[in-house]
Structure 1
Amino acid sequence: MYTVNAEQLKQMKTRAHELKPVIMIGQAGLTEAVLKEIELALDTHELIKVKIRAERDDKKLIQQQICSDTKAELIQSIGQISVIYRKKTEQAPKKPAPHTRRRDGTH
């Protein structure tokens, strides 16, 4: 897991201020489908807001599970809003599709 220093934490809180929650967790709780959406959002944005509608103790458990399952870090939690960060992984460039020959022998 990536650990953020104090300066990075401050910058992320500033960046997060402008963000809208991209994931909402309601009475169904943290499901596999919601975790997949969180993974996609983190892959795309690195820094996301998640709105968790749950009791305080349940909210803390959900935050911990999100962070452990996605290998992310909780940056900030205010009320129902949690700010979560995961550094983007460097992905290898995709290989171009191999050339195929048409039936007439041309490319």
Structure 2
Amino acid sequence: MNLLSSKEKSELRGYAQRLKPALHVGKNGLAEPVVVELRKAFEREELIKIAFKAERSEIEALCLEVERLAECQCVGGVGKKRSFYRKMPEAVEAE
């Protein structure tokens, strides 16, 4: 995955401010059903917001796990919400 520049992350954070959380991660963390929903969310959108119910000290580790599982990149967040970006695969046109 190509890493985003600071300028790109800043632009994406601006878009993410208007998003509602697509996913809520509870205190149990990233259980299998949550991972399935995460992947479904990225099939629909390139930029999603996740609300975490964990302690703030645990959120950083959960963000790293989300990045690994969904092959996405955290672009920032406020409080217990973080926004993640993953470029949509290019559509292959039928001939």
TM-score exceeds 0.5: yes
Structure 1 residue runs of 4 or more that deviate by more than 6 Å after TM superposition: none
Contiguous gaps of at least 5 residues in structure 1 = 96-107
User: Which residue in 2 is equivalent to 1:44?
Assistant: 44
Name the structure, 1 or 2, with higher relative contact order (CA <8 Å, separation 6+).
2
Structure 1 distance, partners of 2:94, 2:35, is 25
TM-score where L is the length of structure 2: 0.89
**SS in structure 2 opposite 1:21?**
coil
Whose Rg is larger?
Answer: 1
Structure 2 distance, partners of 1:30, 1:94, is 37
**SS in structure 2 opposite 1:54?**
coil
The answer to whether the aligner puts 1:92 opposite 2:85 as a matched pair is no
Residue 77 of structure 1 deviates from its aligned partner by 2.5
* Aligned partner letter, 1:88: M
Identity of aligned residues (%): 25
- Root mean square deviation, CA, Å: 1.6
TM-score where L is the length of structure 1: 0.80
